[in-house]
């Protein structure tokens, strides 16, 4: 995808838990959500903007938020540590929702 068409990006955390030798291992991987005029791309999924109805977020601690993508197949949640307001506002302006 051409980076010049990138409207906004947001880093999210993917947490993987496993048990190895009787000990719990927690691995946190950082990935980016990239918002383009016609596409929203996550590390494992690509969404057509027409299939993303809304984006919202909720703070669940002082340093973390849950970002919700409301799509035609359901709600997808991403854990983010930075304020997602700019990303959400950019999406809503793109979709012309309340802006």
What pTM was computed for the model? 0.83
Structural domains in the chain plus CATH codes = 3-95 (2.30.29.30)
How crowded is residue 89: how many other Cβ atoms within 10 Å of its Cβ? 13
Q: How far apart are the first and last CA of the chain?
A: 27
pLDDT tens profile 34-61: 999 999 999 999 999 999 999 999 998 8
In tens, the pLDDT along 55-93 reads 999 998 877 899 999 999 999 999 999 999 999 999 999
């Amino acid at each position: 995808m051409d980076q010049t068409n990138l409207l906004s990006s947001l880093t999210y955390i993917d947490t993987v838990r496993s048990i190895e030798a009787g000990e719990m291992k927690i691995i946190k991987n950082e990935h980016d959500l990239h918002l383009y005029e016609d596409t929203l791309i996550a590390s494992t999924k690509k969404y057509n903007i027409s299939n993303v109805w809304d984006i919202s977020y909720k703070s669940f601690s002082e340093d973390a938020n849950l970002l919700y993508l409301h799509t035609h197949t359901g709600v997808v949640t991403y854990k983010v540590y930075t304020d997602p307001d700019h990303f959400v506002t950019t999406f809503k302006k793109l979709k012309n929702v309340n802006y």
